[in-house]
Amino acid sequence: MSATARIISPIDGSIYAERPFLSEAGIDAAVSAGRRAQADWAGLSVAERGRYCRAALEALAAMQDEIIPEIAWQMGRPTRYGGENGGMQERGQYMIDIAQEALKPYIPQEKEGFRRYVRHVPLGVVMVIAPWNYPYLTAVNTIIPALMAGNSVILKHATQTLLTGERFAQAFEKAGLPKGVFQNIVLDHASTEKLLASGQIDHVNFTGSVNGGRAIEKAAAGTFMTLGLELGGKDPAYVLPDANLDNTIANLVDGAFFNSGQCCCGIERIYVHEAVFDRFVDGFVELTKQYVVGNPLDQATTLGPMAQARFADLIREQKAEALRKGAKAHLNMRVDADREGSPYIAPEVLSDVDHQMSVMREESFGPIVGIMKVRSDEDALALMNDSIYGLTASLWSVDIDRVAALGDRIETGTVFMNRCDYLDPALVWTGVKDTGKGGALSALGYANLTRPKSFHLREQI
């Protein structure tokens, strides 16, 4: 393996940035520094930790003019969308705001002669292995609450977006965070697995592929560290016959194609009641035709390249297989660079699809979506649950009771109604089946970054 991590920009195939992988001695030093710093950090009050974290978020906000084009060069998202600062601030500030209440001791019913309570104790050294698709949003989900809970944090960002880690490090330095409490490191896969197997990490949060999650579990086996794993997804939507079609179409097109479809909770398969199927498909196709594929630095571009050419080639393969099996392609849009081996690819909408096609079963993570006609809620429910994944599902209707009842039967981490592809920091972000385990955000997210410690104190007899 190369001794350096290289960002190959999807814009033009150039090397955008290159950094050396950390040596074994450097890794040991980083973990030792994190371990030493953590004890004093945990000794600070929640309010004091919050002041540092807020200052770091403010510092990141001040960098946006540099960060936005940096994201485009690293992973291809159009600059017209302005980066991730809004969502990052919302999540980070919310987790700071609720920390005092979420981390206060649990006190059971009073019992005469005893003082009893349960403290939320930090785990120690938390490692965040962050993905490239939303490099700031996904990382902040764990970094801020881990620090607020009294842990030290080591961030290992995806190679494709490794400059994000440097930005976080700069922000915490500007905030005056004590040395060793937050560290950004650059590791190859082998060194990452070795570190996890060493027993020096107390918790790891990983966002990535199912295979990556399995590798994390294997590396951590026997260490008894805790794990947070957000892995694959194949998120469905169900359009009921009473849905407001204009609103539904606008939101589902955006949910399917924003960020070139490279969203953990992006819409990858849509089930539409037969009563509104034709109107829905017609409207969905017409709106999708308005996308402009091109250089993400161009303000006219609404769909940039995928992060790597191999991701786009997978979409091409899924489309070709679906067409061989009888699917209908509604767009067949042509862009100059849309060819095998190129990260540039036009969006596609397919109908006449079924679950024998990989586009309806396997994660696409790109700008393609299959739309399938259903006759009833029961048909839709069976198809939505016919998946090895379970991150989110969205239902589109005016009947909230009907949706809530259906939602209870969907095997998923989050049920949306009349929206999709959004993380509310007040609600825990979690998944089922091969999507992973653990949870981030909300007060429940703090439970994954602390351990309970019971105090059973009896008065002198």
Does the annotation count 217 as an active-site position? Answer: no
φ and ψ at 392, to 5 degrees?
-135, 160
How far apart CA 98 and CA 50 sit, in angstroms, is 10
How far apart CA 174 and CA 55 sit, in angstroms, is 8
Neighbours of 237 (CB within 10 A): 26
How far apart CA 330 and CA 127 sit, in angstroms, is 44
How far apart CA 287 and CA 114 sit, in angstroms, is 66
Q: In the structure encoding, which two tokens stand for residue 453, read together?
A: 């410690």
Of 338, 340, 390, 347, nearest to 371 (Cα)?
347
Q: Cβ contacts of residue 214 below 8 Å, gap of 6+? A: none
How far apart CA 297 and CA 169 sit, in angstroms, is 25
- Do 146 and 153 touch, CB atoms closer than 8 A? yes
Site of tokens 């006609």: 373
Neighbours of 45 (CB within 10 A): 9
Of 245, 267, 249, nearest to 258 (Cα)?
267
Neighbours of 426 (CB within 10 A): 11
How far apart CA 177 and CA 233 sit, in angstroms, is 36
Bridge partners of 227? 204
Q: Which is the catalytic residue, given 110, 166, 173, 230?
A: 230
Q: In the structure encoding, which two tokens stand for residue 283, read together?
A: 């409207």
Distance of CA 358 to the CA centre of its chain: 22
Site of tokens 């609600």: 427
- Known catalytic residues are 230
